[in-house]
Amino acid sequence: MGSSTRTLKIGIIGFGTFAQFLAKTMIKQGHLIRATSRSDYSGFPGVHFFRDMEEFMGLEHDVILICTSIVSVSQVVKSIPFHRLKKPLLFADVLSVKEHPRQLLLQEVPHDSDLVCTHPMFGPESGKDGWKDLPFMYEKVRVKDETLCSSFLAIFENEGCKMLEMSCEEHDRLAAQSQFLTHTIGRVLSEMEIWNTPIDTKGFEKLIQVKESSTRDSFDLYSGLFIHNRFAKQQLHNLESALERVKETLEARINNN
């Protein structure tokens, strides 16, 4: 293992649900976690929280991890006081869309710092019993310090994640037809106000689970999957027209009866 188990100083920007979930495992692995966020999370166990972004950026970090919502990331990153940085380091993000933060970070992050875009394909619910075999996608967008980047990725590797190196574009293409579609169906089921019945089939029980896990995530997250993944609109359209075709087939069947 060597350097891959090195202790890292990780600074987290955006310390909501998902960041807190990640932080617990990072702390367990022995890393030093500092965080800043719009809201006040002082007192979160094991984390040194800074209300002041200037002060936070002036600390010595190995990695700065962006964990804000998709829809706020542009505003958040553009307001980071990069000039306060003590030394070049690794910037990473965990947003559920990837082309958008990739482009933004390439634009905003100082050129002497490295960049890795990642998406852990799990959350506080699906990852509550550990991260073993859960997919972790990443693209090394700009990496000069391979050792540092490996040490960061090792956080997920050491927990047993299925590590997938993939371009941000490929991620967004696949995630539009898997994750965005799943969230959309979950939100639709929630709109329909469907509930368990005494005569649920196994299949329906699965839909109820999809509904519950989709609506556990924020609407910011869901709308981010749509607004900032350029492949999502097409999938929404595909869903609508597939439903239309299924309906037409049923109606044709009635008329032939």
255 binds ligand NAP (CB under 6 A): no
120 binds ligand NAP (CB under 6 A): yes
Q: Answer with the entry of a second copy, ligand NAP, none that 199 interacts with (C-beta below 5 to 8 A by kind).
A: a second copy
Residue nearest to ligand NAP (CB): 123
67 binds ligand NAP (CB under 6 A): yes
Binding residue count for ligand NAP, defined by CB under 6 A: 25
Give the residue with the Cβ less far from ligand NAP, 21 or 188.
21
- Minimum separation from the CB atom of position 253 to a second copy (A): 4
Residues 174, 158: Cα–Cα separation, whole Å? 25
| Interface pick for ligand NAP out of 4, 6, 16, 215 (rule CB under 6 A) | 16
Give the residue with the Cβ less far from a second copy, 111 or 192.
192
Site of interaction with a second copy (CB under 8 A): 71, 119, 121-122, 126, 135, 137, 164, 166, 171, 174-175, 177-179, 181-189, 191-192, 194, 197-204, 206-207, 209-210, 213-214, 223, 226-227, 236, 238-240, 242-243, 245-247, 249-250, 253-254, 257
Three-class HEC string of the chain: CHHHHCCCEEEEECCCHHHHHHHHHHHHCCCEEEEECCCCCCCCCCEEECCCHHHHHCCCCCEEEECCCHHHHHHHHHCCCHHHCCCCCEEEECCCCCHHHHHHHHHHCCCCCEEEEEEECCCCCCCCCCCCCCEEEEEEEECCCHHHHHHHHHHHHCCCCEEEECCHHHHHHHHHHHHHHHHHHHHHHHHCCCCCCCCCCHHHHHHHHHHHHHHHCCHHHHHHHHHCCCCHHHHHHHHHHHHHHHHHHHHHHHHCC
Q: Answer with the entry of a second copy, ligand NAP, none that 17 interacts with (C-beta below 5 to 8 A by kind).
A: ligand NAP
Q: Answer with the entry of ligand NAP, a second copy, none that 255 interacts with (C-beta below 5 to 8 A by kind).
A: none
Residues found near ligand NAP in the complex (CB under 6 A): 14-19, 37-39, 67-70, 72, 76, 94-96, 120, 123, 217-218, 220-221, 224
